[in-house]
Amino acid sequence: MYENQIIPGYRHQPGFHCASSAIRNVLEFHGIKISEPTVIGLGRGPGFFYLVLNQTPSRLVHMRCLALEENFFRAVGLKFRWRETENAAEATRHAKETVDRGLPVLVQTDIAYLPYFNTDQHFPGHAVVICGYDDKKEEFYVSDTLHPETLAVTITDMERARSAAFPPFLLRNKAFVLEDISGFRIDETVVHSAIRLWAEENLNGIPGLPAAYGVKSLEALIRDLANWKEAEDWRWSARFTYQVIERRGTGGAGFRTLYRQFLEEQEAQYPALQRLRLSREMAVIEGIYHEVAAVFRRISEEDTPNFSPATPILENLLEREKDFYQKILRLVLQN
């Protein structure tokens, strides 16, 4: 669709997760072919946040490292920096000028302001690629992972989506344009480094974050789970937890399915990794995340709140993840 307005050479391909498929599409535009699981793996995507908020849902589980985009580009040797502005009109001008130069623009949005989602549920940080526009129709053309073709979004809606503020996530019209690919590199050292950093962050947290991350955040959820029954929106919080783990662009199991596929891809290339059999252990953790999602879904369908069935599953997950991250830090080669 909209062929005459799309940047020549840009090809939209659907995927599992918004940011990883968007990055894959942008790289392919520049002549670099890479799988979506590899973007997730080198971007250190799978994580764990637990937050208690004064909004709906009041209990929020978030499964993705917020810095996935930066992590990935830096890991493969490419310069990265979000362009941010509080001025929506300025952000629109920049997007148009970039498309005029023949380059796609990676941006972050809140799906509540993208009409094709038909939802009032805020979900900020959703990545799309602006790959064309039409001034006469006053619309942008975007590449969104969940849809088979490019989509039209009015400039007004895109400005609202890009400048949304849904605490603790403030979008500030973030945009990134890949212009120089001369430093691109993926080899065994790059892969080992990304796996080790991923384990380190999930085991010990990420410095500078305002909240706990990884296993420390999972521990916080386990401690607080008994309080969920007191929340007025306990049913939606439970249902949203299921959706965030299993359905909302994670590829299943809170990105663990995609990460297991990443490990399998790398083990096929590098014998040193293959001997560690990390993908097999990841598959076990992946299965437990499916169990976690299923139990929260069942709880959301009950007439009264009872979160006790989730506790032993979460405790099993905590033990497995701790052991897995510690094993990686012991055994995976350092730079």
Q: What percent of the chain has pLDDT over 70?
A: 97
> According to the model, what pLDDT value does residue 3 have?
58
> According to the model, what pLDDT value does residue 210 have?
83
Co-location of 153 and 196 in the same domain: no
> According to the model, what pLDDT value does residue 124 have?
84
Among 167, 168, 94, CA closest to 133: 94
Q: Flag whether 245 is in a domain.
A: yes
Out of 153, 176, 199, a domain closes at: 176
| Interatomic CA distance for residues 98 and 7, integer angstroms | 10
Out of 111, 141, 176, a domain closes at: 176
What is the CATH number for 89?
3.90.70.30
Number of separate domains in the chain: 2
| Interatomic CA distance for residues 98 and 219, integer angstroms | 44
Q: Tell me the average pLDDT of the chain.
A: 95
> Is the model's pLDDT at 251 over the cut of 70?
yes
Co-location of 119 and 223 in the same domain: no
Co-location of 172 and 207 in the same domain: no
- Least confident among 17-21, 248-252, 258-262, 282-286: 248-252
Q: Flag whether 42 is in a domain.
A: no
> According to the model, what pLDDT value does residue 335 have?
46
> Is the model's pLDDT at 129 over the cut of 80?
yes
pLDDT digits (tens, 9 = 90+) for 136-170: 999 999 999 888 999 999 999 999 999 988 766 78
Mean pLDDT of 244-256: 94
Give the residue numbers spanning the domain of 104: 3-33+80-176
| Interatomic CA distance for residues 27 and 149, integer angstroms | 18
pLDDT digits (tens, 9 = 90+) for 256-310: 999 999 999 999 999 999 999 999 999 999 999 999 999 999 999 999 999 999 9
Q: Flag whether 64 is in a domain.
A: no
Q: What percent of the chain has pLDDT over 90?
A: 88
Co-location of 144 and 293 in the same domain: no
> According to the model, what pLDDT value does residue 221 have?
98
pLDDT band at 4 (very low <50, low <70, confident <90, very high): low
> Is the model's pLDDT at 75 over the cut of 90?
yes
User: In terms of C-beta density within 10 A (0-12 exposed, 13-18 middle, 19 or more buried), how is residue 247 classed?
Assistant: exposed
**185-222 as b/e: b if 16+ CB within 10 A:** ebeeeebbbbbbbbbbbbbebbeeeeebbbbebbbbbb
| Interatomic CA distance for residues 198 and 48, integer angstroms | 12
- Single pTM value for the model: 0.94
Q: Flag whether 200 is in a domain.
A: yes
> Is the model's pLDDT at 192 over the cut of 80?
yes
Query: Which residues, in sequence order, are bridge partners of residue 143?
Result: 129
Write the DSSP string, 49-94.
EEEE-SSSSSEEEEEE-TTHHHHHHHHTT-----B--S-HHHHHHH
> Is the model's pLDDT at 334 over the cut of 80?
no
